[in-house]
Homo-oligomer: A and B are copies of this chain.
Amino acid sequence: MTILPTCTSQSRCFDGTIGFYRHFSDVCRTEMRFSVYLPPQATGATLPIVYWLSGLTCTEENFMIKAGAQQFAAQYGLILVAPDTSPRNLGLPGETETWDFGAGAGFYVDATTDPWNAHYRMYTYVTEELPALMAAFFPGDRQRQGIMGHSMGGHGALICALRNPDRYRSVSAFAPIAAPMGCAWGQKAFRGYLGTDSTAWQAYDASQIVIHSAWNQPILIDQGTADPFLPQGQLLPEVFEQACAQAGKELILRRQEGYDHSYSFIATFIADHLRHHAMALR
C-alpha cells in the first residue's frame, strides 16, 4: 500500500518546480526523503525520469541546490529525482559513528547483515519503490528512466543500470567508486552490510557486473584529474575501464584536467550528462 509522499517545501525554478518530500518507505521500513524537479513540460503528459544518486554524507538536498541541473532538465523536459543516501535516525549501533558507513552511506545495496538488513535496502528502494512512487504520484514514465550519480552515487547508478537494462535506458556518473571491492570505502561498506564472504559483494561491484551484464548503451563517466580520492585508490576508473573493454561495452570515460571531486566539477559537466540522458530517453 503506497502512501502519498508529504511535500515539505516547494520552490519555482526555471519555470518548473523543485519539491522536497518525505514518506514512509515500505522497503526501508522507515521515513525516507527525496527531492523532485518537475520541468515546465509536466502538464498532463508523462515525462522521462533521470535519477540522481548522491555521494557519502549527502542528503536529498545537495544535488538540487548545487548542481545547476534544473536549467537543462527544463530544456529537455526531464524529471529529476534525488533520494537521500540512506535511512536515518533508526538508533542502530554504529549508525552515525563514521561518515563512510551507516547514515549518509547506504551504498545502494540491500543489506543482509543484522541489524542493517531491516532497513538499509537502498538498492530495492531506488530501483523499485522510487520508480513506483514516480509513476503513482508524479508524471513519471517508468518506461523512460535514466540514472546517474556522484562518487558512492556513481557506483549506485552503475550497478542499478548494469543489473537492470530493462529498467533504465541511460546511465552516467561523476567520479564513481567504480570498483568498490578494490577500495577501502567499498570494502568497509560491503563487509558491514553484506558480511565477510566477498562472493556476495560481486553483485554490487560495477567492474564485476559489467562483464556479464546485458547493458548495451554507452556509459558516460567524467573523472577529474585533480580529484584527491583518485590517487587514494578509492575510485579506480581504470579497473572499470578495463572491465568494459573486456566485456565489449561502450564506455565514454573523460578525464577532466584539473577538476576535483566537488560540485564545481559536477556543475561544469552536468549539461553534457543531461544531454546524454535526454538523447537516450526521448
A residues engaging B (CB < 8 A)? 11-15, 18, 65-66, 68, 70-71, 224, 226, 258-260, 262-265, 267-268
Contacts and interface: CB of A to CB of B under 8 A. Distances in A.
Contacts of A262: 11
Nearest to A37: B264
Given A11-B264, A12-B226, A71-B267, 18 more contacts: A11-B259, A11-B260, A11-B262, A11-B265, A12-B224, A12-B259, A12-B260, A12-B264, A12-B268, A13-B264, A14-B267, A14-B268, A65-B66, A66-B66, A68-B71, A70-B264, A70-B267, A70-B268
A12 B226 CA distance: 9
Given A65-B263, A263-B65, A13 B70 contact: no
A259 B13 CA distance: 7
A259 B17 CA distance: 10
Contacts of A263: 65
- What are the 8 closest A-B residue pairs judged by CB atoms, nearest first? A68-B68, A13-B264, A11-B264, A12-B258, A12-B259, A11-B262, A14-B268, A11-B260
A68 B71 CA distance: 10
For A12, A66, A70, A259, the residue with the greatest tally of chain B CB atoms inside 10 Å of its CB is A12
Nearest to A18: B264
A267 B12 contact: no
Q: Do most interface residues of chain A lie in helix, strand or loop, or is the interface mixed?
A: mixed
Nearest to A224: B12
A13 B71 contact: no
B66 A265 contact: no
A267 B14 CA distance: 8
A63 to B, nearest CB: 12
Contacts of A65: 65-66, 263
A13 B264 CA distance: 5
A255 to B, nearest CB: 13
B13 A265 contact: yes
Contacts of A71: 68, 267-268
A15 B71 CA distance: 20
A65 B62 CA distance: 10
A51 to B, nearest CB: 20
Nearest to A262: B11
Nearest to A14: B268
B226 A68 contact: no
A162 B131 CA distance: 52
Contacts of A66: 65-66
A52 B65 CA distance: 18
Contacts of A265: 11-13
Nearest to A11: B264
